[in-house]
Amino acid sequence: MQPKNKPYVLFVAEVIYLEISEIKRKNSNFSNKEAIDAFIGNGTYKNISSGKFHDDWLKELEKNEFIDLKTNKKIPEETIRL
């Protein structure tokens, strides 16, 4: 069975989820709210909220001629415009 490709709009959501999961793993006594609060204000949060995360991601995609390195497929123009 082949793994499904994730929609690109989920890329940043996955980064956030993984970061919050890591915070919870390191702080097992944290509630979900406390883990989210700890995420807000950290480096990843600041990078995303400033727009730098997406700017850097787009630059990386441009460098690879908009080829997704995980799938080796060209990212559709419509997705890039979004």
pLDDT digit string, tens, across residues 13-31 = 999 999 999 999 999 999 9
- Rounded Cα–Cα distance for residues 20 and 7 (Å): 21
Enumerate the H helices of the chain as residue ranges. 11-26, 32-39, 43-49, 52-63, 77-81
Task: Tell me if 3 is assigned to some domain.
Answer: no
Does any domain span residue 40? yes
Domain assignment of residue 2, yes or no: no
Stretches where the chain sits below pLDDT 50 are 1-2
Q: Is residue 1 part of a domain?
A: no
* Whole-structure pTM value: 0.75
How distant, in Å, are the alpha carbons of 63, 72, 76, 80 from that of 66?
A: 7, 10, 8, 8
23: containing domain: 8-81
Determine, yes or no, domain membership for 77: yes
Into how many domains does the chain fold? 1
Q: Is residue 42 part of a domain?
A: yes
For residue 4, what pLDDT is reported?
63
pLDDT at 2: 46
What was the pLDDT predicted at 79? 78
- Residue pair 67/75 in contact (Cβ under 8 Å)? The answer is yes
In a domain, 13, yes or no: yes
CB 54 within 8 A of CB 13: no
